[in-house]
Amino acid sequence: MIEKIIESEMTRYRESYAPIVREVNEDIELAGYIDHTLLKADATQEMIVRLCQEAREFNFWSVCVNTGYLSLVSKALEGSPVKKTVVIGFPLGQMATMTKGAETVWALENGADEFDMVINVGLLKAREYQKVYDDISEVVESAKGKIVKVILENCLLTEEEKIAACVISREAGAAFVKTSTGFSTGGATVEDVSLMKFVVGDHCRVKASGGIRTREDTIAMIKSGADRIGTSSGIKIVTGGIARDKGGY
Ligand SMILES: O=C[C@H](O)COP(=O)(O)O
């Protein structure tokens, strides 16, 4: 069943793909697009509290952290409109499906608003599409109507695999498809964002993440179809200042 849908989307892509070009005002206010992100292994409690203070100060959409810091983030953001985004099965995505589900259930019970899960790239490459679908569905169902974003890790995928991943995510009820973890061999590209937006259409939104460092990068991603930006350089993006982390791409 899912194979048939993927096949027909591949055909639609090959026959009618045209890059997405959206009109965006160059003066656009960017803070509301940004998931202010700190996911590194050496992130300390102090750094996470600072991340939350920055998110309040600059009116970012959310902070994005590992689930182990969710309770700390809930305290630090108390009374603020900033959302709490957590990552699920991060950064490799190859843990058992029930483990991803359990992490989601725990995070939901502890106040998470949005869930960025990593797809199982190995299963996708093996064309185990039903298993990939079930893995995503488990998280979508566990999130009980909250926003789930599926991280595809595009730098590891062929064009066909990117299309299949977008279709499976869409069919499994994801709210967003997301380009990258920021921890693999490459980050977001405008070409990938455009492909993803073309495939998911109005059923899902696209989050661009990984290596986005400047206001220009951010606007280019939005023009190509992104509606959310995941970045550890949010302050630089909104102030034009120096990136806290220049990244490795
Ligand atoms: O999801 C967000 C990424 O981890 C952020 O990546 P970055 O540190 O390259 O901005």
Domain range holding 165? Answer: 2-20+29-239
CB atoms within 10 A of CB 150: 30
39 lines ligand 1 (CB under 6 A): yes
The per-residue pLDDT for range 180-199, each reduced to its tens digit, is 999 999 999 999 999 999 99
The per-residue pLDDT for range 36-67, each reduced to its tens digit, is 999 999 999 999 999 999 999 999 999 999 99
Q: Residue 123 belongs to a domain with what CATH number?
A: 3.20.20.70
- Report yes or no on 170 lying in a domain: yes
Q: State the average pLDDT over residues 112-138.
A: 98
Q: State the average pLDDT over residues 66-89.
A: 98
- Report yes or no on 113 lying in a domain: yes
CB atoms within 10 A of CB 193: 26
210 lines ligand 1 (CB under 6 A): yes
- Catalytic hit among 178, 192, 197, 236: 178
The per-residue pLDDT for range 127-171, each reduced to its tens digit, is 999 999 999 999 999 999 999 999 999 999 999 999 999 999 999
37 lines ligand 1 (CB under 6 A): yes
Span between the terminal Cα atoms of the chain, in Å: 38
218 lines ligand 1 (CB under 6 A): no
Q: What is the pTM of this model?
A: 0.96
Question: Could you tell me how far CA 230 lies from the centroid of its own chain?
Answer: 7
Pocket of ligand 1, candidates 231, 233, 249: which has the most ligand atoms within 8 Å of its Cβ, to mutate?
A: 231
- Report yes or no on 34 lying in a domain: yes
Do 63 and 78 meet the contact criterion of CB atoms below 8 Å apart?
no
Do 7 and 164 meet the contact criterion of CB atoms below 8 Å apart?
no
Sign (positive/negative) of CA torsion 240, 179, 142, 106?
negative
- Report yes or no on 101 lying in a domain: yes
Torsion of CA 154, 83, 45, 241, to 10 degrees: 70
Q: Determine the distance separating the centroid of ligand 1 and the alpha carbon of 122, expressed in angstroms.
A: 22
- Report yes or no on 142 lying in a domain: yes
Q: Determine the distance separating the centroid of ligand 1 and the alpha carbon of 182, expressed in angstroms.
A: 4
Q: Determine the distance separating the centroid of ligand 1 and the alpha carbon of 112, expressed in angstroms.
A: 19
Cis, peptide link before residue 91, omega less than 30° from 0: yes
Is pLDDT at 246 greater than 80 in this prediction?
no
213 pLDDT band, cuts 50/70/90, is very high
208 lines ligand 1 (CB under 6 A): no
Number of folded domains that form the chain: 1
- Report yes or no on 246 lying in a domain: no
- Report yes or no on 202 lying in a domain: yes
What number is the ipTM of this complex? 0.96
116 part of the active site: yes
- Report yes or no on 55 lying in a domain: yes
Whole-angstrom Cα distance, residue 148 to residue 180?
15
Q: Whose CA is nearest to atom 10 of ligand 1?
A: 231
Q: Determine the distance separating the centroid of ligand 1 and the alpha carbon of 147, expressed in angstroms.
A: 19
